[in-house]
Amino acid sequence: MIEPTGVERDAVVTSLGTMVYYRLIDQPWPDLPPTTSAKPTLLFFHGFGGGSSAYEWSKVYPAFGPEYRVLAPDLLGWGRSDHPERDYQPQDYIQSLQEFIEQTCSEPPWVVASSLVAALTIRAAITRPELFRGLILSTPTGLSDFGEDYRRNLFAQIVGIPVLDKVIYRTGIANRNGILSFLENRQFAQANRIFPEIVEAYLASATQANAEYAALSFVRGDLCFDLAQFIPQLTTPTAIFWGERSQFTPPAQGRRLASLNPRAIKAFVELPDVGLTPQLELPAVTIGLLRQFLALLQADSH
């Protein structure tokens, strides 16, 4: 796995397994005076996909070290965390996100999350609002929103065939060509923004023992749901940003989701010429946007 400079690895034990997480121990700017007051916590939750891990936010979260206590976990089934042999369901991740916060945060944190995990974070905040101070979400989608059923997708149905599913994972996902093809054709808007390090980081996560269980649960659609049924219940202050060229769910659908709860969702920003992961494709832009959203949500909470 590839980690930024100044990061230390730690772990917590949840009811479904051990979650590894990364925390900043050194500021990137060591000549700055140390902060005397306790820092608020800022969590970064990565999305799902072949080879996903906390690396997804590693070009962004070091920038927040001077002002925040920054934590970025590998979710269960991904990266260095445990890979239980199970068919994962939404409640597995809702529960593990809540347990992670309970064990690592003495005060409600700010949470940044991506794609389907961002949608699961919304559900976690609905059932346990006291755990969350505010949400900043990149492309939050349940992938079956407004009555659409992701599982009707032909590829999802093929991957649902036992034995064949693991063959597809090994030959089409968990190798350098498969990862590069997905990044170029589905995740990034501009292929020239995909550096070799990104491919290597995804490959290292995708080839961990039992990595196929979580990945195949995602590809089959086991983790998908209709976010439109849940988002009106959200009370946690939230800001959303969405890549203009997101392949799975277009920004128009994101705006439709946001319109279901204008009281909680304080901002919606569409980023031009970027795909599903602005945090990897345009990290500097993402850092600036996160700073604006944090200032907006903090001002709104006063």
Do 117 and 93 form a contact (C-beta atoms < 8 A)?
yes
Per DSSP, what are the bridge partners of residue 128? none
Query: DSSP per residue over 70-87, as a string?
Result: EEEEPPTTSTTS---SS-
In a domain, 1, yes or no: no
In a domain, 284, yes or no: yes
* Domain CATH for 74: 3.40.50.1820
In a domain, 156, yes or no: yes
In a domain, 263, yes or no: yes
Range 11-22 burial, b when 16+ CB lie within 10 A, else e: ebebebeebbbb
Q: How confident is the model at residue 149, as a pLDDT?
A: 83
In a domain, 119, yes or no: yes
Residue written as token pair 């089409």: 172
pLDDT at 14 over 70: yes
- Per-residue pLDDT reduced to its tens digit, 80-98: 999 999 999 999 999 999 9
In a domain, 230, yes or no: yes
Per DSSP, what are the bridge partners of residue 225? 143
**107: containing domain:** 7-301
Residue (of 259, 258, 289) closest to 271 by Cα position = 289
In a domain, 212, yes or no: yes
> Number of structural domains, the chain?
1
- Per-residue pLDDT reduced to its tens digit, 41-80: 999 999 998 899 999 999 999 999 999 999 999 999 999 9
pLDDT at 154 over 70: no
In a domain, 36, yes or no: yes
